[in-house]
């Protein structure tokens, strides 16, 4: 049996080389189109058919039977009232009006007498009419005016103002009130200094440590004199006092507190036992 030549064998070699890739590409392309989601069809609106309404014929309403018309009772005519004619009033004739008496005829006035000498008519002078007495009306008594006596004005008692209590001036704090004296120190120099049987270096160290703990600033103001130490004590930038320490001949220490450093002459006046 002879093999029939296929269609692909008759094609040129370049075309045969493109057939298989084109076939694969066509399959992939068709597969891609099949994977594209299609839009969902619109939901169908179900047509609701109206329910048939059962029509029932209405029974004819019974016609109302005519009610018998009641016969009205016979109306008897009212008896005619007997009209009594009113009595005829008797008209009396008015009495005759009395006649007024006729006035008497006027008497003739006699002619006035004429004085033959004066040739004038004499008239009788009528007597003068009496002058009416003038009745004096009494003047009304004046009502006395009521003088209102003014009520006495009450005296206003002025309450004395309370005397303001004088403010008590705050006394300045004594900077020496809380001075940390050395334990065992006794007053000397007639109450102007303190003395203790300790070396001046030990006394100075104890005093400076106690004052610095209270917030004071200590500064030494003397030079390097033997047996003499003077310190300036200040707080918040203000000098409070000065401490002068001196060694005594018996190995003790005396210290004095003053507003200014004590000079050697001042110290000599305090006690003659100070070392030279």
Taking only the tens place, the pLDDT of each residue in 16-42 is: 788 888 888 999 999 888 888 777 777
pLDDT for 234 equals: 92
Q: HSE (CB half, 13 Å, CA atoms) of 49?
A: 3
Taking only the tens place, the pLDDT of each residue in 119-165 is: 444 444 455 565 656 556 656 566 656 556 656 565 656 666 755 54
Query: Residue 171 is encoded by which pair of tokens?
Result: 């006394």
pLDDT for 168 equals: 34
Torsion angle in degrees (nearest 10) through CA of 184, 273, 249, 179: 30
> 221 is in which domain, residue-wise?
186-272
Q: In angstroms, rounded to a whole number, what is the distance separating the alpha carbons of residues 110 and 123?
A: 12
Q: In angstroms, rounded to a whole number, what is the distance separating the alpha carbons of residues 184 and 86?
A: 159
The answer to the question of residue 251 being in a domain is yes
Confidence category of residue 63, pLDDT binned at 50, 70, 90? low
Name which of 269, 231, 271, 223 is nearest 247 in CA terms: 271
In residues, how long is the chain? 276
Please return the burial class of 198, using the count of CB atoms within 10 Å of its CB with bins 0-12, 13-18 and 19+: middle
Does residue 166 surpass a pLDDT of 50? no
Does residue 48 surpass a pLDDT of 90? no
Query: Residue 143 is encoded by which pair of tokens?
Result: 């009502």
The total domain count for the chain is: 1
The answer to the question of residue 227 being in a domain is yes
Does residue 88 surpass a pLDDT of 80? no
SS3 of residue 113 by DSSP: strand
SS3 of residue 242 by DSSP: strand
Confidence category of residue 87, pLDDT binned at 50, 70, 90? low
The answer to the question of residue 240 being in a domain is yes
Q: In angstroms, rounded to a whole number, what is the distance separating the alpha carbons of residues 142 and 100?
A: 60
Please return the burial class of 203, using the count of CB atoms within 10 Å of its CB with bins 0-12, 13-18 and 19+: buried
Taking only the tens place, the pLDDT of each residue in 181-206 is: 888 888 887 778 888 898 988 998 99
The answer to the question of residue 221 being in a domain is yes
Q: Is the model more confident about 70 or about 222? A: 222
Confidence category of residue 264, pLDDT binned at 50, 70, 90? low
What's the CATH number where 234 sits? Answer: 3.30.160
The answer to the question of residue 264 being in a domain is yes
Confidence category of residue 58, pLDDT binned at 50, 70, 90? confident
pLDDT for 121 equals: 44
> What Cα–Cα distance (Å) separates residue 193 from each residue in 16, 37, 151, 220, 225?
133, 114, 80, 19, 20
The answer to the question of residue 229 being in a domain is yes
Highest mean pLDDT (candidates 103-112, 142-151, 208-217):
208-217
User: What average pLDDT score do residues 241-264 get?
Assistant: 85
Confidence category of residue 82, pLDDT binned at 50, 70, 90? low
Q: In angstroms, rounded to a whole number, what is the distance separating the alpha carbons of residues 241 and 48?
A: 115
User: What average pLDDT score do residues 210-229 get?
Assistant: 82
Q: In angstroms, rounded to a whole number, what is the distance separating the alpha carbons of residues 115 and 187?
A: 166
For the chain, what is the total number of helices (H) and then of strands (E)? 3, 8
Confidence category of residue 15, pLDDT binned at 50, 70, 90? confident
The answer to the question of residue 218 being in a domain is yes
> What Cα–Cα distance (Å) separates residue 218 from each residue in 128, 231, 239, 255, 256?
144, 6, 10, 15, 15
Taking 3-state DSSP, the helix, strand and coil percentages for the chain, each rounded to the nearest 5, stand at 15, 15, 70
Q: Is the model more confident about 100 or about 114? A: 100
Query: Which has the minimum average pLDDT: 37-41, 178-182, 264-268?
Result: 264-268
Contact 206/195 with Cβ under 8 angstroms?
Answer: no
DSSP 240: E
pLDDT for 119 equals: 46
SS3 of residue 205 by DSSP: helix
Does residue 116 surpass a pLDDT of 50? no
Strand 217-220 relative to strand 238-247, pairing: unpaired
pLDDT for 242 equals: 92
DSSP 197: S
The answer to the question of residue 75 being in a domain is no
């Amino acid at each position: 049996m002879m093999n029939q030549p296929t269609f692909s064998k008759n094609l040129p070699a370049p075309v045969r080389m493109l057939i298989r890739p084109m076939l694969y590409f066509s399959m992939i392309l068709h597969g891609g189109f099949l994977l594209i989601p299609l839009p969902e069809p619109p939901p169908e609106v179900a047509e609701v058919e109206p329910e048939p309404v059962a029509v029932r014929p209405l029974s004819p309403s019974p016609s109302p039977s005519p009610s018998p018309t009641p016969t009205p009772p016979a109306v008897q005519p009212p008896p005619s009232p007997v009209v009594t004619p009113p009595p005829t009033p008797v008209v009396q004739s008015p009495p005759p009006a009395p006649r007024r008496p006729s006035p008497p005829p006027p008497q003739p006035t006699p002619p006035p007498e004429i004085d033959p000498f004066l040739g004038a008519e004499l008239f009788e002078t009528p007597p003068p009419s009496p002058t009416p007495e003038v009745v004096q009306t009494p003047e009304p008594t004046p009502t006395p005016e009521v003088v209102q006596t003014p009520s006495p004005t009450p005296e206003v008692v002025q309450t004395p103002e309370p005397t303001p209590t004088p403010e008590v001036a705050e006394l300045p704090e004594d900077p020496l009130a809380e001075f940390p004296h050395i334990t065992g120190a006794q007053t000397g120099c007639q109450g102007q200094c303190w003395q203790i049987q300790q070396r001046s270096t030990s006394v100075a160290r104890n005093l400076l440590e106690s004052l610095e703990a209270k917030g004071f600033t200590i500064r030494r103001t003397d030079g390097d004199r033997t047996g003499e130490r003077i310190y300036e004590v200040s707080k918040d930038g203000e000098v409070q006092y000065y401490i002068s320490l001196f060694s005594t001949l018996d190995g003790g220490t005396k210290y004095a507190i003053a507003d200014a450093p004590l000079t050697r002459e001042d110290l000599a006046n305090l006690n003659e036992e100070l070392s030279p």
